[in-house]
Amino acid sequence: MTDLVPTDTQAAPTPRLTRHGALRRRQALTAYAYLAPALIGFLVFYLVPMVRGLQISLTDWDLITQPHFVGLDNYRRLLGDENFLHSLVITATYVLVNITTQTAAGLGIALLMQRISHSTLVRSLLLVPWLVPNVTIAVITLFVLDPNVGLLNHLLGALGLGPIAFYGNPDLAIITVALVNSWRNMGYTALLIFAGMQTVPHMVYEAAELDGCSTARTFRSITLPLIRPVLVMVVVVSMIGSFQIFDTVAVATKGGPVGSTRVIYFYIYEKAFQQGQMGYAAAMSVVLLAIILIMTLIQLRASRAAESDLG
Amino acid sequence: MTDSLRTVTSQPVLLRRPGRILGWALLILLLAITLTPFVWAIRTALISNAEVFNGDYSLIPRNLTLINFKRVLGLVSAEESLAAGGSGAKMYFWLYLRNSLIFTALLVAGQVTTSTMAAYAFSRLRFPGRDLLFGLLLTGMMIPPIFIVLPNFVLIKNAGLLNTFPGMLAPYVLVSPFAIFFLRQFMLSLPREVEEAAMLDGASSWTTFHRVIVPMAATPITTVAIIQAVFAWNEYLWPQLIGQDHGVRLLNVALAVFQQSSPSTRPDWTGLMAAATLQTLPMLIVLLLLGRKLVSSISLTSAK
């Protein structure tokens, strides 16, 4: 990394140490001036809030009266809160279903893009759902998936499959939310994977062709291993994102039916802003942060492994 | 980086003919799955609420009407709106569209400016604490927003900035760790000679920055602007906490409020679909105008 960073261009031709030092100081001051707005923003809206978040998690606070210190009580309470443990299970289900289907669909579409058409039009059209806000997607899918008047149920009815209350069935609701978001993001994921595929030199495929490799063989032995770093990157980014599923739930299901879509993000939101339990909500967000950090570390390791595989 | 952009336009690795027909069929099916819900939303926005419930699923219904769009745009009286199956709630679409545009434009302008400057310092200048500060900033990318939303909400509330644009923009406008990271990656790849040449001409650091570095980084800067604009346009949690008042309410928040005001026993589907259609149209226009740019921007973020 360091060898990529340009060395001090001003200091290099200056022989005398004192001038060297002065120039360095000046360049440092210049650098801080460039950094100032971003660093102030980072300090005020990221760093201080992080410390404040930890602090609030140790209090009992309804946002109106004075917060009072309760130590680790909120965390102790979490361990016995079935709704909290349930929200973790729901979130994990969501993440698992969402990541698998989204990555698989994205990979499939990327392959089609690579082998059938590079058309920008096709790529743009597949990107439409990703450009449309989650709130809009939630409203549109509420209608399309409605058990009484929804288009999908009408089509299923034509196949002799009974109406399914996708968002309304407690056993199905979270999977529905996951699949809706996979549908929304698959074009975007495909585009990222496709871009990764483009870094594989064309010659490799030509060589495979000359050797008489089948399509499946080419995919398994060439494409897949060579795009592994991109795949890992896509999974890492979308996994961190999918832990933060909120909008669709907030609009389409409001955590229901019977709490079956009360993902952790939504539960934190409910506690903080609807039930006024700031301290408790903050404690949950600390746990969520810890989970995401652990996931990130595991995945960073995985991605490093993927890179070193390629030598 | 420009290399990876160029390869995106290289020839497809084509399949043999039978495979290609199957492939096209699949691709068309995928496009249908992707676009049908939007087509269906537009179609529903153009019929009366009664017709939604009468079991007609034809793609082009017989009786088309613009009443739902008029309702959403607040062009009809509350009585007419109730008669058409609405809750009587208006959308004030133009006001909310204006708010969303202001929010998005200011957010992107702020982030692009501060991030370009920060990326320049991190990639081209030397100063004590550089790696530490950059590392710190990177951790910002991993923090789940909800973790800082709670204290930030308290901060904005105490500052008396609820229901103001400054309150809605504050946490975003000064800093975007992603944007800094992304632009720094690009600027690291620029040759050192460009600065040396500028220095020999007697250019100051500021001149070098805005006359040399910024023009060279135009492509990644555009990429960041596009990606952050999509992000801002989609943002929901924070704007709905801070901006509930009509004067600052964003389209996203307005649609959610509109949906909640719709009776759950017999939802105002046509009004909702009209609102959703109006919500989708700006993005479709952007896609039409910027399709190629957008696609290559996203490819660029992956190929970094």
Question: Cβ(A90)–Cβ(B246) under 8 Å?
Answer: no
Q: What are phi and psi of B198, to 5 degrees?
A: -65, -40
pLDDT at residue B15 is higher than 80: no
Does residue A231 come out as left (phi exceeding 0), alpha (psi in the -120 to 50 range) or beta? Answer: alpha
Q: Which of A221, A226, A192 is nearest to A208 (CA)?
A: A221
Please indicate whether, in this complex, the C-beta atoms of A281 and B34 are within 8 angstroms of each other. no
pLDDT at A309: 58
Is the pLDDT at B32 greater than 90? The verdict is yes
Q: What is the mean pLDDT of residues B20-33?
A: 91
A261: number of Cβ within 10 Å: 29
- Report ipTM (2 d.p.): 0.89
Name the band, by pLDDT with cuts 50, 70 and 90, for residue B13.
low
DSSP H helical segments within B46-77, as ranges?
49-52, 67-72
Give pLDDT, residue B3.
42
Q: Minimal Cα distance from B7: which residue of A?
A: A198
The bridge status of strand A68-69 relative to strand A59-60 is antiparallel
- Mean pLDDT to the nearest integer, B85-113: 87
pLDDT for B16 equals 62
Beta bridge partners of residue A59, listed in sequence order: A69
Is residue B263's pLDDT more than 70?
A: yes
pLDDT of residue A297: 84
Q: What is the predicted pLDDT for the residue at B303?
A: 62
Confidence (pLDDT) at B21: 87
Q: What is the pLDDT of residue B88?
A: 63
Candidates A7, A27, A43, A45, partner chain B, best to mutate (most B CBs within 10 A)? A45
pLDDT the model gives residue A310: 53
Q: What is the pLDDT of residues B239-262, one digit of tens each?
A: 999 998 989 999 999 999 988 888
**Residue A143 to residue B154, Cβ atoms within 8 A:** no
In the predicted model, what is the mean pLDDT of residues B23-27? Answer: 91
What's the pLDDT score for residue B292?
A: 83
Q: pTM higher than 0.80, yes or no? A: yes
Q: Do B126 and A292 touch (CB under 8 A)?
A: no
Q: Choose among B15, B44, B152: nearest Cβ to A215.
A: B15
Is the model's pLDDT at B14 over the cut of 70? no
- Per-residue pLDDT of chain A (311 residues), as tens digits, is 334 444 444 444 444 455 677 878 888 899 999 999 999 999 999 999 999 999 999 999 988 888 889 989 999 999 999 999 999 999 999 999 999 999 999 999 998 988 888 788 888 899 999 999 999 999 999 999 999 889 999 999 889 887 899 999 999 999 999 999 999 999 999 999 998 888 777 778 878 878 877 777 888 888 888 888 888 888 888 888 888 899 999 999 998 899 999 999 999 999 999 999 999 999 999 999 999 888 888 877 876 776 665 54
Which of B10, B13, B224, B250 to mutate to probe the A interface, most A CBs <10 Å? B13
Judged on CB neighbours under 10 Å (0-12, 13-18, 19+), B176 is buried
Q: Chain-wide mean pLDDT for chain B?
A: 86
DSSP A132: S
Nearest CA in chain A to B175: A38
Whether the Cβ atoms of residue A286 and residue A57 lie closer than 8 Å to each other? yes
pLDDT for position A308: 66
Q: What is the mean pLDDT of residues B167-175?
A: 95
The predicted-structure confidence for B264-277, as pLDDT tens digits, reads as follows 778 889 999 999 99
Contact A112 B27 (CB under 8 A): yes
Cis upstream peptide for A129 (omega within 30°):
no
Predicted pLDDT at A306: 64
Give me the pLDDT at residue A237, please.
80
Note whether B142 contacts A9, CB cutoff 8 Å: no
Q: Mean per-residue pLDDT for B143-159?
A: 91
Contacts of A6 by beta carbon, 8 Å cutoff, 6+ apart:
B123, B124, B192, B195
DSSP label of A63: S
Contact A288 B30 (CB under 8 A): no
pLDDT, residue A90, reads 95
Q: Which chain A residues are within 8 Å of B209, Cβ to Cβ?
A: 34
Distance from CA of A173 to the nearest CA of B (A): 17
**Percentage of the residues of chain B whose pLDDT score is greater than 70:** 91
The pLDDT value recorded for residue A26 is 84
Residue B294 pLDDT > 90, yes or no?
no
